[in-house]
Structures are given as structure tokens and as C-alpha cells.
Amino acid sequence: MKPAQLLQFVFIAVAAFFVYAFVATAKDGETRRSCTALCALAPNYAGRSRRAPEFELPNLAGKKVRLSDYRGKTVILNFWSKTCPPCLEEMPSLAILGHALAKRTDVVLVTITNDESAEDAKATLHSVLGGDIPFEVLVDSENLIVGDKFGTKLFPETWFIDPQGVVRARVDGARDWSSPLALQLAESFSAPLACGVTFRDAKPDGPDAAVCGPLD
């Protein structure tokens, strides 16, 4: 091989290496960005293997509401009860999230309580929040949806359901829902760039699991 040809070959190889390195770095950065909220919230479950069960429940005004009414939106579905202290502790942060979502058309916050009646739920919420209730509240007094369809036994539980009605994440226990992470996570389920991390028993898995870093 002539020196000029060798030099050209080396130039092409070096250029290809830098292009590859740039693309790989950019891809890694996008992956980390898309997975930030999911890794930080560390849900007990995250995946795409389960479609959310359809249900119909009355809201505080007595109007029947179906889960499918929200198709096309990401639904943050929170289960709570007045007899659950952690539920009441996280309720003010849920209210902050509800206010943040008030003008959004792509994400909605819905809560379901298994308290005895709408009046009971309203009294509890007014006592805890001291004002308006900035999210939809559905009443499942017979526990047919909360317990039978979703299998929820310990409160609070929060499910993220994507616009196609697929359960993407489940968070067990109370969280600070006023953090931007909650909204970022909801937005990530309708974004074109998907995070390749799943969670099983609160442990990250999947092809991009390493971006979540080491477990404590």
C-alpha cells in the first residue's frame, strides 16, 4: 500500500472512530436523560407487560367515570384510604401535582379511595388539604376495583398508565409527588424516546439498567 493510500485509510478509520464515539456518547446521554425520573423514583414495577383493567366508578359528584375516558392521556392513578396515615401524609404533594396538571391535556391525576362514601372522602380531603381538591376522586366503597381488579392491599399505591392503557410503572408507598420527577416520568411514557429499564421488586433490569447506577 502506498503511503498516500495508507494515510487516507488511517484518516478514514480515525474519522469513523470519532463519529462512532460521538454517536455512542449522544445515545448514552439521551438514554440517561430518558431514564432519570424512572431511576430516581425506583418503582416496584416498571414494564409493558400488563394492560390496565377497565373500570367504572362514581366521582365525588356522583358521575360515573371510566378509565377508558382518559385514553390518549397518561394517567397517574393513586389508591388511598382515610385509614392510611402515609396516604394522608402524601396528599398535599399530590395536590401540588394536581395543580401543576390543571392545564395539561396529556397527563391526568386520578385517585381512588375505598372509603365508605363520597361525603366521607370529601370530608377527609377537605380536612387534609384545607381547600379545593385539584384532582379527580373516584369512590370504590366495595373495594371491587382497588382490591379485586388491581390487587392493591397496602396503601398508598400509585400507577402510571400510558396513553394506550398499558401499565408502565407501579410505585408502592408514599412519595413526594411535588417533585418534578413525577411529571417527568409521566411525560416519558408518551415520548418517542423510550427508556430501556424495567423494574421487578424495585430492582432495575433490562438493557439500560446500568444507567440507574449501583443499588444502595
pLDDT digits (tens, 9 = 90+) for 5-18: 555 655 555 444 43
The DSSP secondary-structure symbol of 59 reads: B
Helix, strand, coil tally for the chain in percent (to 5): 40, 25, 35
Residue 149 in domain:
yes
Residue 36 in domain:
yes
pLDDT value of residue 61: 95
Q: Cα separation of 56 and 15, whole Å? A: 59
Pairing of strands 107-113, 64-66: unpaired
Residue type, 167: V
18 vs 90: which has the higher pLDDT: 90
157 vs 42: which has the higher pLDDT: 157
List all residues 6 or more positions away from 122 whose beta carbon is below 8 Å from its beta carbon. 60, 133, 137
pLDDT above 70 covers a percentage of the chain that reads 82
Is pLDDT above 50 for 74? yes
Residue 105 in domain:
yes
Residue 192 in domain:
yes
pLDDT value of residue 153: 80
pLDDT value of residue 213: 80
Q: Cα separation of 139 and 145, whole Å? A: 10
Residue 81 in domain:
yes
Residue 24 CA: distances (Å) to CA of 8, 10, 18, 207: 24, 21, 10, 15
Is pLDDT above 80 for 21? no
Cell numbers 424516546 label which residue?
A: 193
33, three cell numbers: 436523560
Would the CA dihedral through 128, 133, 136, 142 be positive or negative?
A: positive
Q: Which of 80, 40, 50, 45 lies closest to 162, judged by CA? A: 50
Residue type, 2: K
Residue 40 in domain:
yes
- pTM, rounded to two decimals: 0.81
Residue 5 in domain:
no
Residue 216 in domain:
no
Q: Around Cβ 65, how many Cβ atoms within 10 Å?
A: 18
Domain CATH code at residue 62: 3.40.30.10
Is pLDDT above 70 for 70? yes
pLDDT value of residue 196: 82
For the chain, what is the domain count?
Answer: 1
List all residues 6 or more positions away from 106 whose beta carbon is below 8 Å from its beta carbon. 73, 74, 163, 187, 190
Compute the average pLDDT of residues 39-52.
Answer: 88
pLDDT value of residue 123: 94
Q: Which of 71, 123, 129, 79 lies closest to 99, judged by CA? A: 129
Phi–psi pair at 89, nearest 5 degrees: -70, -35
For 91-134, what is each residue's pLDDT tens digit?
Answer: 999 999 999 999 899 999 999 999 999 999 999 999 999 988 99
Compute the average pLDDT of residues 135-141.
Answer: 96
pLDDT confidence tier of residue 2, bands split at 50, 70 and 90:
low
| Domain hosting residue 105, numbered range | 10-18+21-202
H or E element: which one contains 186? helix 180-188
